[in-house]
Chain A
Amino acid sequence: MSRLLALLLLLGFVGNTAAADCNEQDLAARQWLDKMSHSLQEVSYSGVFTYEHGSSMQTLRIRHQVTDSAETAHVTRLTGDGGSVMRTEHPLDCIHPGSKLVRLGLAFGGDAEDCGMAAHYKLKLGGEILVAGRTAQVLQILPRDMFRYGYLMALDTESGLLLKSQTMAQDGRTLERFQFADVQFGLANPAVAGTEVEVVHHTDHPQPPGPKTPAAAVRAWLVGWVPEGFAPTSHHDNAHEQTFTDGLAVFSVFLESLQGSVELGEGLARQGGTSAYSRGMQIEASPVLVTVIGEVPVNTARMVADSIVWEVADAD
């Protein structure tokens, strides 16, 4: 127990010093992150990139188009079975909690002590490398605790666009790697649209279409604990889903009410940096299946699942 106490004290100490650290040594790195975040909404580009996880490697094409008021992204898989993902006409003036945590001006919000995501990650600039024939700035992002993954990124020096990214587990393993092979800036050529095979995802904003579960069927519930720095997103369209972000990592919690009884247990499925952790459990004698899915270590998912409680209806 004394060891545990020491750990807690130390963590508390780290929490206090992190704020002091982040403003100075990480500033240049944070400016790059800020630039990367803006490039998402300000740069039109198209290109081919690879996505690797485990022994699998996919080649995909992206077209990302920014008009005066909206951005459209379209990712098509060029290998395997095809398949594509599309986000249409996302309004540019819509800034989500994740962006607020990353962008400098917004993160500070007039409060110089607020480090945004730098309070929970150590940021470090590396050298310059060549990705897809372009000069890229290497940025190393290490978590300050064990509740999130680390990243190694390479950003286009000119635009800030993310050209290469690796998600790294705590033990240094690479969970997934994404890298542009070729990229062109400027408006994407619409002629490439013919390769679409299957649209598996189509999103409007702010209200995504698709089947909705009747909200009445789900009792209100709360996630009692998330790692420090994670905040709920504005994306709550649905009573059985809650999503949290620390600016880089995102996880979603889903709760399904079960009928009858449940055999307690837990299971895990992984794909690249994404884990799905399912737990059959009882909350105050009500059987539920909780699933935490996201780009966080399994223990984070498990601890989040641990903390779910029913919302007390009569509180007010």
Chain B
Amino acid sequence: MNERMQESLSALMDDEANELELQRLLKHSDAGELRSAWARMHGASAVVRGDRDAALLSPKFADLAFADGVAAGLDGESDVESANAGSGFVSTALRPLASFAVAASVFAVVLVVSQFYGLGPDAADAVGSQQIANQVSTVGPVNALGGAAMTASFGGQTVVAQPAVAVGYDQIARKRLQRYLVPHTDAASLNTPQGMMPYARVASFPVDAQD
């Protein structure tokens, strides 16, 4: 992997990749070394945040939760190896865990998803509760739906997908989640010992979000 690719990869992890970089990465994405490097960087960006949710809601579980990892005093990227070696979930906080989203704006995502599907609070969950927590107000005009649409065919149906800005693809992902959750659950419920968990996920999905 050349230096340029490394930089692109790094930018992608930091949500700073521009479209060109993304395309260059995708073009090389079948290379095993990209995958390995990605894995390495992902490990490096893991964040220690403790288990606050569990602590609030379930003291007993929280006590147990990942007690292994808490003891580990990892320091920076050089410790990715040990983090990955299974000793725990914990490595040092290098940056917020924003390693995935290429989304341009949290506000735009929240607004658009809510408006587009007319969902209640469940829609907000879809983009992450933490993002919602950071949000003060959702008032304000957002025109994230602009631009030329592209047409995608899926079986007998034709769906119109939004252009390849990040927000557009987040909407596509949301749509696909609605469409594929049931077939996915169909397979999942037969292949996990977790009983009703897969059913609960489907049953809890907002009804008005169903196609």
Binding site for B on A (CB under 8 A): 3-4, 6-8, 10-11, 14, 18, 33, 36-37, 39-40, 49, 51-56, 58, 60, 62, 64, 73, 75-77, 80-85, 87, 90, 94, 96-99, 102, 122, 126-127, 129, 138, 140, 142-146, 150-153, 161-162, 164-166, 168-174, 176-178, 198, 200-201, 203, 205, 208, 211, 213-214, 217, 224-225, 233, 235, 238, 240-241, 243, 245, 247-252, 254, 256-274, 276-282, 289, 291, 293-295, 298-299, 302-303, 306-307, 309
Are B78's CB and A3's CB within 8 A? yes
Task: Please indicate the chain A residues that have their CB under 8 angstroms from the CB of B142 in the complex.
Answer: none
Can you name 7 A-B residue pairings with CB atoms under 8 Å?
Answer: A10-B85, A98-B192, A165-B197, A245-B192, A250-B192, A250-B198, A278-B173
Are A171's CB and B81's CB within 8 A? no
Are B154's CB and A146's CB within 8 A? no
Are B89's CB and A142's CB within 8 A? yes
Smallest distance from the beta carbon of A55 to chain B beta carbons, Å? 5
A14, A49, A84, A303: the one within 8 Å of B196 (CB): A49
Are B203's CB and A274's CB within 8 A? no
CB within 8 Å for A49 and B200 given contacts A172-B50, A269-B174: yes
Smallest distance from the beta carbon of A1 to chain B beta carbons, Å? 8
Most chain A CB within a 10 A radius of its CB, from B90, B97, B129: B129
Smallest distance from the beta carbon of B100 to chain A beta carbons, Å? 5
Task: Please indicate the chain B residues that have their CB under 8 angstroms from the CB of A235 in the complex.
Answer: 186-187, 190-191
Question: Closest chain A residue to B120 by CB distance?
Answer: A80
Is B5 interfacial (CB-CB < 8 Å)?
no
Are A265's CB and B195's CB within 8 A? no
Question: Closest chain A residue to B100 by CB distance?
Answer: A298
Smallest distance from the beta carbon of B36 to chain A beta carbons, Å? 6
Main secondary structure of the interface of B (DSSP, over half): helix
- 6 extra A-B contacts, CB within 8 A, seeds A7-B81, A14-B84: A75-B203, A241-B180, A265-B165, A278-B172, A302-B100, A306-B35
Question: Closest chain A residue to B82 by CB distance?
Answer: A10
Task: Please indicate the chain A residues that have their CB under 8 angstroms from the CB of B121 in the complex.
Answer: 55-56
Task: Please indicate the chain A residues that have their CB under 8 angstroms from the CB of B95 in the complex.
Answer: none
Question: Closest chain B residue to A274 by CB distance?
Answer: B201
Task: Please indicate the chain A residues that have their CB under 8 angstroms from the CB of B204 in the complex.
Answer: 51, 53, 56, 58, 60, 77, 271-272
Smallest distance from the beta carbon of B119 to chain A beta carbons, Å? 11
CB within 8 Å for A265 and B102 given contacts A245-B192, A276-B174, A303-B35: yes
CB within 8 Å for A142 and B66 given contacts A98-B191, A271-B126: yes
CB within 8 Å for A273 and B164 given contacts A6-B81, A250-B187, A307-B30: no
Task: Please indicate the chain B residues that have their CB under 8 angstroms from the CB of A151 in the complex.
Answer: 194
Smallest distance from the beta carbon of B115 to chain A beta carbons, Å? 15
Are B176's CB and A278's CB within 8 A? yes
CA distance A273 to B128 in the complex (A): 11
Task: Please indicate the chain A residues that have their CB under 8 angstroms from the CB of B173 in the complex.
Answer: 267-269, 276-278, 291
Most chain A CB within a 10 A radius of its CB, from B37, B122, B210: B122
Are A265's CB and B166's CB within 8 A? yes
Are A259's CB and B151's CB within 8 A? yes
- Interfacial residues of chain B within 147-173, with CB under 8 A of chain A in the complex: 150-156, 161, 163-173
Task: Please indicate the chain A residues that have their CB under 8 angstroms from the CB of B207 in the complex.
Answer: 80-83, 198, 200
